Structure formats: structure tokens, C-alpha cells
Structure 1
Amino acid sequence: MITVRDATAQDAQALAEIYNYAVQHTTAIWNETCVDVQNRAQWISERQKAGFPVLVACAAQGVVVGYASYGPWRLFEGYRYTVEHSVYVRANCQKRGIGRLLMQALIERAKAAGLHVMVAGIEAENAPSCRLHAQLGFVQAGTMRQVGTKFGRWLDLSFMTLNLE
């Protein structure tokens, strides 16, 4: 059974492992630099102090198998009711509904916070993520061609949005 809870500093090691795997092996994150435990602990703290959730999905014995969060879409005041989210699941735990569970919890938090729109920025060839978002009610908002690069190739960024009201 998978449970979802708020992250703590003790989850930083697991978050760093999940994040670093995505950095090293996927185009889900367009960074090429891995992070350490201190970086993730600081990230958790900063997000939570700013009023944004950081959620973790835990399997048996409390093992963290995924995480999700949202933060500002853009920093201008006019965007204050719009957030962009991220969700990551351990590679060996994918396709088990964990991403969906995290996303559903994150959407509920955003609604409870009185937010209006949630934005997803997804590498355009990431069909499983696009499919999950569509199943949760996100709609295609556009694709920006070749705006990023990783592993020696240009990447397209698809945007999907969910109206939370």
C-alpha cells in the first residue's frame, strides 16, 4: 500500500536519489548536474516556508518511492494563482499508479490553496507523462520546439494546463 505525506528533511536522501537518476538517465529534468542531500533538504525547507507542498509517496516500511511539488509559474504578481508542478517516481516503481496518486494529492492541495491553474511542462516525447496528465484533466496548451537540449539532442517542451476551479 502506498501512502502520501508531507516531506521532511529526513526524506532528502531519497529525493536526491530520485532526482539524480532523472538527471543522469532521462529527459524529464533538463539539468545535467546532480544534487546532494543538503541541496534537497534546503529545497524542501524553502518550498515549505514559501507555502508550497512537497509530498512524498511511501511504500512498505516508509520507503520513499516518489515525490511531487509545485511552485510559482512565474514571479510576476499577475501569475500568483498559477503554479507549475513536478512529479517524479523511482524508475523501478513506475507504472504502478504512484505518479497518479501524487498528482491527485497535489491537485487537491492546490485547490485547497485557492489556486486557479496548474501548469505541466513536459518533454514532448514523454508519452506516459502526457497521457497521465490528460487522464487527470490537463489539456494541451502548446509546444515550444527545440527550446532545450540534453544528451546531445534538441528537446521540445509541451505545456499542459489544468483549471482547478
Structure 2
Amino acid sequence: MTSPTRALTTLTIRDALDADLPVIRDIYNDAVEHTTAIWNEILVDLESRREWLAARLKRGYPVIVAERDGKTLGYASFGDWRAFDGYRHTVEHSIYIDKNARGGGIGEALMRALIERARALDVHVMIAAIEAQNTSSIRLHEKLGFRRVGTFSEVGTKFGRWLDLTCMELRIA
């Protein structure tokens, strides 16, 4: 059941600002430390997030945040899927949600906004690369029209175990 206070507040999706970077860093680092959402084991600092944001914006890619009551609860972006010119109409996205806000529809709101941004930029295909046991993320992507195109077995490691990668795609155009 939704609490009365939460029902009265609105989730806002907007472009990320420099002021969001400390929260973006913290959400990212929590995912690095505690999840298999990202297969990285190195924590980032504020300067690296600042450089990441600048690089995304320079390439014309969006970085958006979900905010409720002035608090940033998650962020999303997309960027090059592969570096070669022939792939210029295909992007891969990332979405990260604050650990205390997961499961409340924020990921779906960010995904829908990201798909609209991709459509506006004439992206043809959006790629999702999801750790194969992350069934909630896979279900969300399926709900939004992504289709599974395959799973790579044991292509990464984290927390001392091999990880499989499920790949999904959405035709935007």
C-alpha cells in the first residue's frame, strides 16, 4: 500500500545537474560495492563523475535523474554501444536507483523517459546488458518492449563468481 505522503508527492524526471553528482556517485558506488548491476569493483570519486557527465553531454547523450521532494533517487543515461561508426544509431543504457528507493517504479519512469530521449535523437536500437539473475530488471525491460536476444555464459566475474549476461534490444524507430 502506498503511504498517504508518498501518494501526494510527484516523481520528477529531469536533466542531471552538477549538483546531482554527489548523489549519482553514491548510487553508483553502492551498486559497485553491493550488486552485480555493474561489473566493476573500483569506486569512483566526484571528479570522475564530473568527467563522465561532461563526456556524455559532449556526445549529445542524456543523463537524467528521478527526483522526489528535492531528493535524487536514481539516474539513467545511454551512450555508444560500440565505438565504430556503423553502430552510431545503437546505444546501450544504464539505470541505477538508490538502494532505499528500489521497487517503487522509479526505474520504469527513468526507462520510459530514456526511451523518449532516444526516439528524439533518432536512435534506432537501444541495448540492455543485464546480469542474467537480475530477473526484476529483465521483467521491466520486457514490459517496456525489449526482447531477449541471447545470453553470454560466464563472461564476467564479481564477488568471486562467474556471471552470465543477458542481452536485450528495443527497436526505437
Give the TM-score of the pair, scaled to structure 2: 0.94
Unaligned runs of 5+ in 1: none
State the partner residue of 2:91.
83
Correspondence for 2:61: 52
Q: What displacement does 1:37 show?
A: 1.1
Alpha-carbon separation, structure 2, partners of 1:132 and 1:88:
13
Alpha-carbon offset, residue 29 of structure 1: 0.5
Q: Is the 8 A contact 1:12 1:38 kept in 2?
A: no
In the alignment, is residue 35 of structure 1 matched against residue 44 of structure 2?
A: yes
After superposition, the C-alpha distances for 1:55-82 in whole angstroms (9 at most, x for unaligned) are 000010x211000000000011110000
> What letter corresponds to residue 137 of structure 2 in structure 1?
S
Partner of 1:9: 18
Q: Whose radius of gyration is greater, 1 or 2?
A: 2
What's the Cα RMSD here? 0.6
SS of residue paired to 2:104: coil
SS in structure 2 at match of 1:74: coil
Code of the residue aligned with 2:52 in structure 1: it is W
> How big is each residue's C-alpha offset from its partner over 1:73-98, in whole Å with a ceiling of 9 and x where there is no partner?
00111100000000010011011100
Shift of 1:163: 0.3
Query: 1:73–1:79: 8 Å Cα contact kept in structure 2?
Result: yes
Please give the secondary structure, in 1, of the residue aligned with 2:38: coil
Helix, strand or coil at the partner of 2:100:
helix
Task: Compute the displacement of 1:42 (Å).
Answer: 1.4
What SS does structure 2 have at the residue aligned with 1:33? coil
SS at the partner of 2:53?
helix
Cα distance between partner residues in 2 of 1:107 and 1:97: 16
Q: 1:8 deviation in Å? A: 1.2
Do residues 99 (structure 1) and 137 (structure 2) align? Answer: no
Paired position in structure 1 for 2:5: none
Name the structure 2 match of 1:116: 124
Per the alignment, residue 68 of structure 1 pairs with: 76
Give SS of 1:105's match: helix
Q: Which residue of 2 aligns with 1:125?
A: 133
